[in-house]
């Protein structure tokens, strides 16, 4: 019989600060089995110090105090990969894959932190290169591991439903038509022609946005709010944190939720965890 595996992803905005502000208390109550972390901004030893008892794998950014991804699990990883694409792709601290053996089935989980970008600057060029590499890797990942899950702060709102103030952001990184078109292809029917929101054409990869599948065509639920002003109180947010699952895994998902803090002053990150349960095992 498959068992429930509870999987969460969150951009912690610095794990040491997050644990001081209440992350551990949430984690103690949430009953998480697999935790994908982004913007860790810490060494592996520092992560071990704040998450004792967890099996940990990570990929640090080349620049100290920047980016960083990690995966914390209740079982050791069978294999870990930290390379997304060829050099000189800027993926250090932004992509890590871990294969897990769960009751005789292999589950591959990815923690990804896509560049924030800035329209018409070199920062955006790095984001294009990263999204290109993702688009090449996703079919390979599905072929090698039918039960695969890419999680993280992907820094793109796919649809107008994913950003409260979408009209004011159509020319800004995070909601550029070309960025959104990648997600049109990621989530389009596998092998079928896809016309992106920017008019580009490509081929669907067949992955499933577990959050959108769970909630349907509603605004949000948002996962990130600016720390400035009253964005959190007014729910002026962005849905940029995802569980992207292979179709084979998406069929086993249930209970997807965004764990929104009850108030602005109880937040331990500017992102909220996204959590779902998956039935894994033979």
The number of folded domains in the chain is 1
- Nearest C-alpha neighbor of 8 from the set 253, 183, 267, 265: 253
Q: Please state, as a whole number, how many other Cβ atoms lie within 10 Å of the Cβ of residue 81.
A: 17
What's the per-residue H, E or C state across the chain? CCEEEEEEEEECCCHHHHHHHCHHHHHHHHCCCEEEEECCCCCHHHHHHHCCCCEEEEECCCCCCCCCEEEEECCCCCEEECCCCCCCCCCCCCEEEEEEEECCEEEEEEEEECCCCCCCCHHHHHHHHHHHHHHHHHHHHHHHCCCEEEEEECCCCCCHHHECCCHHHCCCCCCCHHHHHHHHHHHCCCCCEEECCCCCEEECCCCEEHHHHHHCCCCCCCCECCCCCCCCCCCCCECCEEEEECHHHHCCEEEEEECCCCCHHHCCCCECCEEEEEEECC
Percent of the chain with pLDDT over 90: 92
- Give me the chain's average pLDDT, please: 96
Q: For the whole model, what pTM was predicted?
A: 0.97
pLDDT band at 173 (very low <50, low <70, confident <90, very high): very high
Q: Which domain holds residue 249?
A: 3-280
> In this structure, what CATH number is given to the domain that contains residue 65?
3.60.10.10
pLDDT band at 227 (very low <50, low <70, confident <90, very high): confident
For the stretch 27-81, pLDDT in tens is: 999 999 999 999 999 999 999 999 999 999 999 987 777 899 999 999 999 999 9
């Amino acid at each position: 019989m498959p068992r429930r595996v509870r999987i969460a992803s969150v951009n912690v905005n610095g794990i040491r600060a997050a644990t001081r502000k209440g992350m551990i208390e949430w984690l103690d109550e949430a009953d998480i089995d697999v935790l994908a972390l982004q913007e860790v901004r810490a060494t592996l030893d520092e992560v071990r110090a704040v998450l004792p008892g967890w099996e940990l794998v990570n990929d640090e950014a080349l620049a100290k105090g920047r980016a960083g991804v990690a995966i914390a699990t209740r079982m050791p990883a069978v294999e870990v990969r930290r390379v997304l694409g060829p050099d000189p792709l800027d993926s250090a601290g932004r992509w890590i894959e871990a294969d897990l053996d769960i009751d005789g089935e292999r589950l591959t989980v990815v923690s990804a932190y896509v560049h924030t970008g800035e329209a018409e600057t070199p920062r955006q060029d790095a984001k294009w290169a990263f999204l290109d590499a993702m688009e090449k890797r996703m079919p390979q990942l599905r072929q090698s591991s039918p039960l695969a899950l890419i999680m993280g702060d992907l820094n793109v709102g796919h649809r107008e439903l994913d950003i409260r103030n979408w009209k004011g952001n159509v020319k800004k990184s995070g909601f550029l038509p070309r960025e959104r078109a990648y997600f049109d292809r990621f989530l389009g029917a596998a092998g079928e022609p896809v016309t992106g929101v920017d008019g580009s054409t490509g081929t669907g990869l067949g992955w499933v946005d577990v959050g959108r599948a769970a909630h349907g065509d509603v605004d949000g639920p948002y996962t990130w709010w600016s720390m400035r002003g009253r964005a959190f109180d007014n729910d002026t947010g962005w849905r940029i944190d995802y569980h992207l699952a292979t179709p084979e895994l998406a069929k086993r998902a249930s209970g997807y939720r965004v764990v929104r803090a009850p108030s602005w002053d109880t937040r331990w990150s500017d992102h909220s965890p996204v959590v779902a349960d998956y039935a894994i095992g033979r």
